[in-house]
Amino acid sequence: MKQQRVALVTGGVGGIGTGICKRLAADNIFVVANFVVPGSEVAFESAMNNAGFGSDQFATIAGDVSQYDAAEEMVAQSVTKFGTIDVLVNCAGITRDASFRKMTLEHWRAVMATNLDSAFNVTKQVIEGMVAQEWGRIINISSVNGVKGAFGQTNYAAAKAGILGFTKSLALEVAKKGITVNAVSPGFIDTPMTKAMPDSARQAVVATIPSERMGVPDDIANAVAYLASEGASYVTGTNLSVNGGVHLYQ
Ligand code: NAD
Protein backbone atom coordinates (compact mmCIF):
# COMPACT_ATOMS: atom_id res chain seq x y z
CA MET A 1 0.00 0.00 0.00
CA LYS A 2 1.17 3.55 -0.78
CA GLN A 3 2.55 5.28 2.29
CA GLN A 4 0.68 8.26 3.72
CA ARG A 5 0.26 10.99 1.14
CA VAL A 6 1.83 14.41 1.67
CA ALA A 7 0.07 17.71 0.91
CA LEU A 8 1.71 21.13 0.68
CA VAL A 9 -0.70 23.99 1.30
CA THR A 10 0.68 27.44 0.46
CA GLY A 11 -0.70 30.14 2.74
CA GLY A 12 -1.69 27.15 4.87
CA VAL A 13 -1.73 29.11 8.10
CA GLY A 14 -4.36 31.57 6.82
CA GLY A 15 -8.12 31.41 7.30
CA ILE A 16 -9.07 29.13 4.41
CA GLY A 17 -5.64 27.46 4.49
CA THR A 18 -6.08 26.32 8.09
CA GLY A 19 -9.48 24.88 7.23
CA ILE A 20 -7.94 22.98 4.32
CA CYS A 21 -5.07 21.68 6.49
CA LYS A 22 -7.45 20.37 9.15
CA ARG A 23 -9.65 18.67 6.59
CA LEU A 24 -6.77 17.00 4.72
CA ALA A 25 -5.20 15.86 8.00
CA ALA A 26 -8.57 14.36 8.96
CA ASP A 27 -8.39 12.43 5.68
CA ASN A 28 -5.06 10.95 6.82
CA ILE A 29 -2.91 13.11 4.56
CA PHE A 30 0.29 14.51 6.12
CA VAL A 31 -0.01 18.27 5.76
CA VAL A 32 2.82 20.76 5.30
CA ALA A 33 1.47 24.26 5.89
CA ASN A 34 3.48 27.05 4.31
CA PHE A 35 3.61 30.51 5.88
CA VAL A 36 5.40 33.79 5.20
CA VAL A 37 4.78 35.99 8.25
CA PRO A 38 7.24 34.98 10.98
CA GLY A 39 5.35 33.79 14.04
CA SER A 40 2.05 33.20 12.18
CA GLU A 41 2.70 29.46 12.41
CA VAL A 42 2.29 29.52 16.21
CA ALA A 43 -1.48 30.14 16.22
CA PHE A 44 -1.84 27.62 13.41
CA GLU A 45 0.00 24.94 15.38
CA SER A 46 -2.25 25.59 18.39
CA ALA A 47 -5.34 25.39 16.20
CA MET A 48 -4.18 22.05 14.76
CA ASN A 49 -3.33 20.72 18.24
CA ASN A 50 -6.69 21.87 19.58
CA ALA A 51 -8.37 20.05 16.71
CA GLY A 52 -6.57 16.89 17.83
CA PHE A 53 -3.75 16.76 15.27
CA GLY A 54 -0.19 16.01 16.37
CA SER A 55 3.26 16.43 14.87
CA ASP A 56 2.94 13.10 13.05
CA GLN A 57 0.08 14.63 11.07
CA PHE A 58 1.30 18.09 10.12
CA ALA A 59 4.29 20.44 9.93
CA THR A 60 4.87 24.08 9.01
CA ILE A 61 7.38 25.53 6.59
CA ALA A 62 8.42 29.14 5.95
CA GLY A 63 8.75 30.58 2.46
CA ASP A 64 7.61 33.51 0.34
CA VAL A 65 5.85 31.87 -2.60
CA SER A 66 5.77 35.12 -4.57
CA GLN A 67 9.53 34.71 -5.12
CA TYR A 68 10.77 31.90 -7.35
CA ASP A 69 13.98 31.17 -5.45
CA ALA A 70 12.25 31.17 -2.07
CA ALA A 71 9.56 28.81 -3.37
CA GLU A 72 12.25 26.50 -4.78
CA GLU A 73 14.06 26.44 -1.43
CA MET A 74 10.84 25.91 0.55
CA VAL A 75 9.73 22.94 -1.58
CA ALA A 76 13.22 21.41 -1.56
CA GLN A 77 13.24 21.55 2.24
CA SER A 78 9.79 20.02 2.40
CA VAL A 79 10.68 17.16 0.06
CA THR A 80 13.87 16.44 2.00
CA LYS A 81 11.98 16.27 5.30
CA PHE A 82 8.65 14.77 4.29
CA GLY A 83 9.05 13.14 0.87
CA THR A 84 7.42 13.77 -2.49
CA ILE A 85 4.49 16.15 -2.52
CA ASP A 86 1.39 14.28 -3.68
CA VAL A 87 -1.13 17.08 -3.25
CA LEU A 88 -0.39 20.76 -3.83
CA VAL A 89 -2.91 23.40 -2.80
CA ASN A 90 -1.96 26.85 -4.11
CA CYS A 91 -3.85 28.94 -1.56
CA ALA A 92 -1.59 31.89 -0.66
CA GLY A 93 -3.18 35.17 -1.64
CA ILE A 94 -3.49 38.85 -0.81
CA THR A 95 -5.68 41.77 -1.80
CA ARG A 96 -4.55 45.33 -2.52
CA ASP A 97 -7.88 46.82 -3.53
CA ALA A 98 -8.20 50.19 -5.23
CA SER A 99 -10.17 51.50 -8.17
CA PHE A 100 -8.04 51.23 -11.29
CA ARG A 101 -7.50 54.98 -11.47
CA LYS A 102 -6.03 54.92 -7.96
CA MET A 103 -4.20 51.62 -8.25
CA THR A 104 -0.43 51.85 -8.07
CA LEU A 105 2.11 49.71 -9.86
CA GLU A 106 3.07 48.38 -6.43
CA HIS A 107 -0.55 47.24 -5.76
CA TRP A 108 -0.61 45.54 -9.14
CA ARG A 109 2.72 43.78 -8.86
CA ALA A 110 2.20 42.58 -5.28
CA VAL A 111 -1.09 40.92 -6.17
CA MET A 112 0.17 39.38 -9.41
CA ALA A 113 3.30 38.03 -7.70
CA THR A 114 1.49 36.57 -4.70
CA ASN A 115 -1.69 35.32 -6.37
CA LEU A 116 -0.51 34.26 -9.84
CA ASP A 117 3.30 33.99 -10.03
CA SER A 118 3.13 31.85 -6.88
CA ALA A 119 1.22 29.13 -8.73
CA PHE A 120 4.03 28.94 -11.29
CA ASN A 121 6.77 29.22 -8.66
CA VAL A 122 5.50 26.36 -6.51
CA THR A 123 3.91 24.07 -9.10
CA LYS A 124 7.16 24.15 -11.07
CA GLN A 125 8.90 22.56 -8.07
CA VAL A 126 6.44 19.70 -7.55
CA ILE A 127 5.40 18.70 -11.05
CA GLU A 128 8.35 16.42 -11.89
CA GLY A 129 7.87 14.40 -8.70
CA MET A 130 4.20 13.91 -9.53
CA VAL A 131 5.01 12.90 -13.12
CA ALA A 132 7.61 10.39 -11.88
CA GLN A 133 5.13 8.71 -9.54
CA GLU A 134 2.26 9.07 -12.04
CA TRP A 135 -0.05 10.49 -9.39
CA GLY A 136 -0.74 14.03 -8.27
CA ARG A 137 -3.40 16.49 -7.29
CA ILE A 138 -2.99 20.22 -7.87
CA ILE A 139 -5.74 22.44 -6.52
CA ASN A 140 -5.59 26.17 -7.16
CA ILE A 141 -7.64 28.58 -5.09
CA SER A 142 -9.12 31.17 -7.46
CA SER A 143 -12.12 33.38 -6.68
CA VAL A 144 -15.60 34.10 -7.97
CA ASN A 145 -14.23 37.59 -8.62
CA GLY A 146 -11.78 36.12 -11.12
CA VAL A 147 -14.78 35.00 -13.17
CA LYS A 148 -17.18 37.91 -12.76
CA GLY A 149 -14.83 40.81 -11.95
CA ALA A 150 -15.16 43.09 -8.94
CA PHE A 151 -15.06 46.84 -8.41
CA GLY A 152 -11.65 47.83 -7.04
CA GLN A 153 -10.03 44.52 -7.93
CA THR A 154 -8.60 44.80 -11.44
CA ASN A 155 -5.36 43.35 -10.04
CA TYR A 156 -6.97 40.56 -7.96
CA ALA A 157 -9.56 39.59 -10.60
CA ALA A 158 -6.86 39.46 -13.30
CA ALA A 159 -4.64 37.23 -11.14
CA LYS A 160 -7.54 34.92 -10.20
CA ALA A 161 -8.71 34.70 -13.84
CA GLY A 162 -5.10 33.87 -14.71
CA ILE A 163 -5.24 31.02 -12.22
CA LEU A 164 -8.20 29.55 -14.13
CA GLY A 165 -6.30 29.64 -17.44
CA PHE A 166 -3.25 28.12 -15.76
CA THR A 167 -5.42 25.37 -14.27
CA LYS A 168 -7.04 24.37 -17.55
CA SER A 169 -3.84 24.44 -19.58
CA LEU A 170 -1.78 22.44 -17.08
CA ALA A 171 -4.67 19.97 -16.69
CA LEU A 172 -4.45 19.25 -20.43
CA GLU A 173 -0.70 18.76 -20.31
CA VAL A 174 -0.52 16.30 -17.41
CA ALA A 175 -3.83 14.39 -17.55
CA LYS A 176 -2.16 11.33 -19.06
CA LYS A 177 0.32 11.24 -16.20
CA GLY A 178 -2.31 10.60 -13.53
CA ILE A 179 -2.23 14.19 -12.33
CA THR A 180 -5.39 16.26 -11.95
CA VAL A 181 -5.36 20.05 -11.88
CA ASN A 182 -8.47 21.84 -10.68
CA ALA A 183 -9.52 25.19 -9.27
CA VAL A 184 -11.82 26.04 -6.40
CA SER A 185 -13.39 29.48 -6.55
CA PRO A 186 -14.61 30.67 -3.17
CA GLY A 187 -17.21 33.36 -2.84
CA PHE A 188 -17.30 35.50 0.30
CA ILE A 189 -15.65 33.52 3.10
CA ASP A 190 -15.30 34.60 6.73
CA THR A 191 -11.50 34.89 7.17
CA PRO A 192 -8.95 37.57 8.13
CA MET A 193 -8.98 38.68 4.46
CA THR A 194 -12.67 39.62 4.55
CA LYS A 195 -12.65 40.70 8.22
CA ALA A 196 -10.46 43.57 7.02
CA MET A 197 -13.50 45.02 5.20
CA PRO A 198 -15.72 47.61 6.94
CA ASP A 199 -18.87 46.09 8.50
CA SER A 200 -21.16 48.00 6.16
CA ALA A 201 -19.32 46.61 3.11
CA ARG A 202 -19.51 43.06 4.50
CA GLN A 203 -23.25 43.39 5.11
CA ALA A 204 -23.78 44.74 1.60
CA VAL A 205 -21.99 41.72 0.12
CA VAL A 206 -23.91 39.21 2.27
CA ALA A 207 -27.16 40.75 1.02
CA THR A 208 -26.22 39.60 -2.50
CA ILE A 209 -25.60 35.94 -1.60
CA PRO A 210 -28.45 33.55 -2.47
CA SER A 211 -27.59 31.37 0.57
CA GLU A 212 -27.87 34.52 2.73
CA ARG A 213 -24.67 33.81 4.64
CA MET A 214 -20.93 34.15 4.29
CA GLY A 215 -19.06 30.94 3.66
CA VAL A 216 -16.73 29.41 6.23
CA PRO A 217 -13.30 27.86 5.60
CA ASP A 218 -14.80 24.36 5.95
CA ASP A 219 -16.98 25.01 2.89
CA ILE A 220 -13.81 25.43 0.82
CA ALA A 221 -11.91 22.68 2.63
CA ASN A 222 -14.61 20.13 1.81
CA ALA A 223 -14.32 20.94 -1.90
CA VAL A 224 -10.52 20.72 -1.78
CA ALA A 225 -10.69 17.39 0.06
CA TYR A 226 -12.90 15.95 -2.66
CA LEU A 227 -10.57 17.09 -5.44
CA ALA A 228 -7.59 15.67 -3.50
CA SER A 229 -9.24 12.29 -3.05
CA GLU A 230 -8.67 9.06 -4.96
CA GLY A 231 -12.30 9.22 -6.06
CA ALA A 232 -11.76 12.46 -8.01
CA SER A 233 -9.26 10.92 -10.44
CA TYR A 234 -11.52 11.63 -13.46
CA VAL A 235 -12.13 15.27 -12.56
CA THR A 236 -9.59 17.63 -14.09
CA GLY A 237 -9.46 21.15 -15.50
CA THR A 238 -12.61 22.15 -13.69
CA ASN A 239 -13.47 25.17 -11.58
CA LEU A 240 -15.58 24.31 -8.58
CA SER A 241 -17.65 27.32 -7.49
CA VAL A 242 -18.17 27.37 -3.72
CA ASN A 243 -20.01 30.61 -3.15
CA GLY A 244 -23.56 30.07 -1.92
CA GLY A 245 -24.91 30.59 -5.44
CA VAL A 246 -23.30 33.93 -6.30
CA HIS A 247 -22.03 32.55 -9.62
CA LEU A 248 -25.65 32.16 -10.73
CA TYR A 249 -25.80 35.93 -11.19
CA GLN A 250 -22.99 36.01 -13.76
P1 NAD B 1 -5.91 34.91 4.63
O2 NAD B 1 -5.34 36.27 4.55
O3 NAD B 1 -6.55 34.47 5.90
O4 NAD B 1 -4.83 33.81 4.24
C5 NAD B 1 -3.91 33.97 3.20
C6 NAD B 1 -2.59 33.44 3.66
O7 NAD B 1 -1.64 33.56 2.60
C8 NAD B 1 -2.05 34.22 4.86
O9 NAD B 1 -1.64 33.32 5.87
C10 NAD B 1 -0.86 34.95 4.28
O11 NAD B 1 0.17 35.20 5.20
C12 NAD B 1 -0.44 33.97 3.19
N13 NAD B 1 0.44 34.61 2.22
C14 NAD B 1 0.32 35.86 1.68
N15 NAD B 1 1.37 36.11 0.88
C16 NAD B 1 2.16 35.00 0.92
C17 NAD B 1 3.40 34.67 0.32
N18 NAD B 1 4.02 35.53 -0.50
N19 NAD B 1 3.94 33.46 0.59
C20 NAD B 1 3.32 32.59 1.41
N21 NAD B 1 2.14 32.85 2.02
C22 NAD B 1 1.58 34.05 1.78
O23 NAD B 1 -6.95 34.83 3.42
P24 NAD B 1 -7.99 33.70 3.04
O25 NAD B 1 -9.30 34.36 2.98
O26 NAD B 1 -7.79 32.49 3.85
O27 NAD B 1 -7.55 33.42 1.52
C28 NAD B 1 -6.98 32.21 1.08
C29 NAD B 1 -7.12 32.14 -0.43
O30 NAD B 1 -8.51 32.15 -0.78
C31 NAD B 1 -6.48 33.32 -1.15
O32 NAD B 1 -5.87 32.88 -2.34
C33 NAD B 1 -7.67 34.21 -1.46
O34 NAD B 1 -7.43 35.04 -2.56
C35 NAD B 1 -8.73 33.16 -1.73
N36 NAD B 1 -10.10 33.67 -1.61
C37 NAD B 1 -10.57 34.11 -0.42
C38 NAD B 1 -11.88 34.58 -0.35
C39 NAD B 1 -12.50 35.07 0.92
O40 NAD B 1 -13.65 35.54 0.88
N41 NAD B 1 -11.83 34.99 2.06
C42 NAD B 1 -12.67 34.58 -1.51
C43 NAD B 1 -12.15 34.11 -2.69
C44 NAD B 1 -10.85 33.65 -2.74
State pLDDT tens for residues 206-233.
999 999 999 999 999 999 999 999 999 9
Report how far residue 237's alpha carbon sits from residue 79's, in angstroms, rounded to the nearest whole number: 26
Residues with CB under 6 A from ligand 1: 10-11, 13-17, 34-37, 40, 64-66, 91-94, 114, 141, 143, 186, 188-189, 191-194
Tens digits of residue pLDDT in 60-84 = 999 999 999 999 999 999 999 999 9
Average of pLDDT values for 194-217?
93
Is residue 131's pLDDT more than 50? Answer: yes
CB 182 within 8 A of CB 229: no
Contacts of 221 (CB under 8 A, 6+ apart): 16, 19, 20, 22, 23, 24
Tens digits of residue pLDDT in 24-53 = 999 999 999 999 999 999 999 999 999 999
Which residue's alpha carbon is at the smallest distance from atom 2 of ligand 1? 193
Q: Specify the pTM.
A: 0.98
For 134-157, letters b (16+ CB in 10 Å) and e give: ebbbbbbbbbbbbbeebebbbbbb
Locate the ligand 1 atom nearest the alpha carbon of residue 11 and give its number.
7
pLDDT of residue 176: 98
Distance 80 CA to ligand 1 centre (A): 26
CB 192 within 8 A of CB 14: yes
- Tell me the Cα Rg of the chain: 17
Q: How many CB atoms lie within 10 A of CB 112?
A: 17
Locate the ligand 1 atom nearest the alpha carbon of residue 220 and give its number.
30
Distance 177 CA to ligand 1 centre (A): 29
Average of pLDDT values for 226-243?
98
Among 85-99, 195-209, 234-248, the least confident range: 195-209
Distance 120 CA to ligand 1 centre (A): 16
Distance 52 CA to ligand 1 centre (A): 24
Active site residues: 156
